[in-house]
Each structure stands twice: as C-alpha cells, then as structure tokens.
Amino acid sequence: MNEREQNWQSVVEAWQSSHLSGAAFCREHGLVYHQFQYWQQKLRDSESGDKACRVKTHQLVPVQVAHRANTSEVPLQLQLPNGLVIRDVTLSNIDTVTQLLKQL
C-alpha cells in the first residue's frame, strides 16, 4: 500500500470511529465528499481482493417495539455504518426497507 492509500485508509478508519455520516465527516475535516467515497470504495474493494477467503455476512437483528405512540405512525431513521441513512421508516413500509437492507 502506497503512502496515499495509507493516508486515505487512516481517514476512513477515523470516519468509522466517528459515528458521523460520510458527508458530515467530510464537512468537519474539509474533505471532498466524492473523493472520500471513491477511496472508501477503492479500499473496500482492495480489502475484499486481499482477503478473498473471508466472507462478510450481514445479519438483521430482531427489534421489539416496547411502546407504540398512539395510533399514528412515528417515522424512524436508520443510519448504517457506511453512512447511508434511510429516513421515514414506518410500519407501512417496513417490509420494503427490510428487503432493501437484505440486498446491501
């Protein structure tokens, strides 16, 4: 890995530990968001190529709703570790969101 790749690897690791969205992290650190996305993907592809035997699995975790607010639906927002945000998740679209998450 060359110096540039190492630098971006450090940036991506700092972002992952920040718990910020990619866009917010870039704004805070004066980075160009599309460059950040490019390097994040490049490093991810490189890592998967280096570790072809390792298979990453994603698993949905069951969630129980302890309290339901009246009869109106209260939308939720999901923020995934990669910075992707899914907004306005409600009971009426939960099946669609579940199918989307299974495809990631």
Q: What is the structure's pLDDT at 61? A: 74
CA distances from 31 to 10, 22, 53, 68 (A): 13, 10, 33, 41
Domain boundaries along the sequence of the chain: 3-50, 57-104
Q: What is the structure's pLDDT at 53? A: 47
Average pLDDT, the chain: 80
Distance CA 40, CA 34 (A): 10
Q: What is the structure's pLDDT at 50? A: 58
| Percent with pLDDT over 70 in the chain | 79
Q: What is the structure's pLDDT at 15? A: 92
| Residue-wise pLDDT tens digits, 34-82 | 999 999 988 888 776 655 545 556 677 777 766 666 545 677 888 777 7
Q: What is the structure's pLDDT at 28? A: 94
